[in-house]
Structure 1
C-alpha cells in the first residue's frame, strides 16, 4: 500500500527550461530525424560521447534567468520577454544571412544584440557575473553608509547592505540578473559590432561541415587590433564572420575553404564546455581531443572596485534615497 502511495506522488517540478543555446540557432544542424548530434561528458567516467538530441532537449538550464523575489506572473519575464525578443528577431536576421543577404537596419541591430547575448547568457558567465556582483555589493559605499549610520536604530544591522538583505533577501540576485541583461544590449558595443564588415562564408566546396557548441561566438582578444574579427557558425555549411579592418577581411577571404572550416571547428569545439554539436558523430575523436581546451572571450565585465561601487550606487540610488 505504501509503495502504491509513493508512486502516485507527483514528480517534483524542476522549474522552467531556459535555453541559453536557442533552439532556432541549432535547427540548421538537424537531420532527417529532426535531431542533431550532441557531444558531451557522460558520468561517472566523464568520457565524451555523442547522441542524437532534439533542440528542446539540449542547451538549457532550469530557471537560469528567473527573477527572484517578484510575482509569479513576472519572474520569467527575462526569459519570456527579453530573451524571447532577442531570439525571435535574431532568427529573422539569421534566415537572411543563410539566404546570402546581409541584414541592415533593425535586423542588423537584432543580430548584433544576439551575438552579444551569446557571449554572456551561458550558465558559466551568468554565475561568474552574479558572484562578482554580489562580492562588490557587500562592500559599503561610504556616502550611503554614513547616511545609514546617522539614522540606524539599535536593533538594525551594522551595515546598510545587511539591512537591505534583511528587508529583501532576493535584492542582490535580482539586481545582478537585471544588470546582466542590460549589459547584453549595451548600445555602444552593439554599434561597434554593427559597424564591422559583415560576410557569410559558404563552405559547400568541402565535405567537412561546420560544428558548433555551447560557446559558439568566436572573437579576437581585442577588436581594435589589425586582425580584429568575430564569427559564429550559423549552419553546417555557413559561417558568419565580421572584420574590423578591410585589409584583414580581404586576406581572410583568400584563405582555403578547408582551412577556414578546420580553424573554426577547432575554436568552437575548444570553447565548448558542456556541449558540442554537429550533424553526425564522425568528429568524436576531434571533440575528445579539443573540447574545453580553449578560453572563450566574454563581454560581461569583471568589475573593479571603483566600477562595482559606481554600478551599485547607480542601480540602487532610487531605492536608497526612498528608504533613507
Structure 2
C-alpha cells in the first residue's frame, strides 16, 4: 500500500553535528552518546545516536499564508544559514586551528545566538507571543472595525481575524525566529567579546553538554558577562569583553574550568544532559535539577 507524503519533520534543537563530538562506538560499533534524564524518582541513563537526540517533531514547523504546513524555518534557515556554516568553524576550534576569520567569527556568533532561541521552551514562548500580539492589535483597532463593520461581518475584529486568517498567529510566530537571531545589535554584542578556546585535560572529568549548552552568566550587554560552551568532551570555548579578564580565566587549572562549566551546563539543563559515558553519573545527579525543582522559564516580552 502506498503511503502519502510525510509532512512532519524532526527538528534538532541541539544540532546533530555538535552532539557527534560526544559519541563513541558501542558494542555494535554504532556511534552513540549517553543521555541522562529524570524519570519518576530516579535518574535514567541510556545510549542514543546523535541523530536521534535533542529533537522534536515539527518544532519549527509553521504555516504559510494559505494555511499549509511549511518546514521553511528548519530547511531554509537553521540548516543552511546556521548549522552548516558553524559546523566547520567548530571543527576548526576543536582541532586547535588558527584564529577565526571574520566570516568564521560571524558564523559562530550566529550559532551561539541561535542556541538561545531554538529551544522548545523559547519556541513555545514565541508562538504564544504572536497570538497575544494579534489579539492586542485587534483590540487596538476595534473601534475602527466597528465603524466599518457591515451586516453579516463577525461581531469583533478578533473574530474576523480568527475566521478569515486563522493561521496568522502561527505564521507570524515561528517565522520570526530568523529575524530574532539576525538582529544586527545582538550579533554585534557577541562579536565584541574576546573568545578563547582550547583543550582541557582534567583526567577522567570530561566536559558534559545538555539541551541548553551555551552558558551566559549575565546579559550580553553586561561587561562582566561570561559566555561559555563545551565543544567536545575535551575542548571548550570561553568569552569575555575584557581580554585581560579572559586571560586570567583561561589560566586557571583545567579541572576548575571543567568543573565550573559542567556545573553551569548541567544546572541549566531542562530535560537532557549528554555525556560520552556514565562515569560522571554522580556529578549529574547532584547538579541536574529534577523537573519539580526547576523554575518556570521566563522570557522577555517580544516587541514589534
What is the TM-score normalised by the length of structure 1? 0.82
Residue 287 of structure 1 is matched in structure 2 by: 284
Residue 322 of structure 1 is matched in structure 2 by: none
How far did residue 188 of structure 1 move? Answer: 1.0
Structure 1 residues 224-233 or 179-188, which shifts more?
A: 224-233
Contact 1:66 1:75 in 2 (8 A): yes
Residue 272 of structure 1 is matched in structure 2 by: 269
For the residues of structure 1 that align with 2:103 and 2:69, how far apart are their CA atoms? 27
For the residues of structure 1 that align with 2:297 and 2:86, how far apart are their CA atoms? 21
Residue 195 of structure 1 is matched in structure 2 by: 192
- 1:118 paired with 2:115, answer yes
Q: How does 1:240-251 map to 2 (within 5 A)?
A: 240-251=237-248
Contact 2:189 2:220 in 1 (8 A): no
For the residues of structure 2 that align with 1:202 and 1:105, how far apart are their CA atoms? 23
Residue 15 of structure 1 is matched in structure 2 by: 8
- 1:154 paired with 2:139, answer no
Change (3 A) 1:144 1:39: same
Q: How does 1:1-324 map to 2 (within 5 A)?
A: 15-33=8-26, 34-42=31-39, 45=40, 47-69=42-64, 75-85=70-80, 86-100=82-96, 101-140=98-137, 144-292=141-289, 301-303=300-302, 307=303, 311=304
For the residues of structure 1 that align with 2:186 and 2:159, how far apart are their CA atoms? 34
Contact 2:201 2:255 in 1 (8 A): no
For structure 2, the residue ranges without an aligned partner over 5 or more in a row are none
How far did residue 99 of structure 1 move? Answer: 2.1
Deviations 1:222-280 (A, max 9, x none): 23444322111010001111111123212212222111100111111111111100010
What is the TM-score normalised by the length of structure 2? 0.88
Change (3 A) 1:294 1:95: farther
For the residues of structure 2 that align with 1:51 and 1:161, how far apart are their CA atoms? 48
Measured on the aligned residues, the alpha-carbon RMSD in Å equals 2.7
Change (3 A) 1:102 1:162: farther
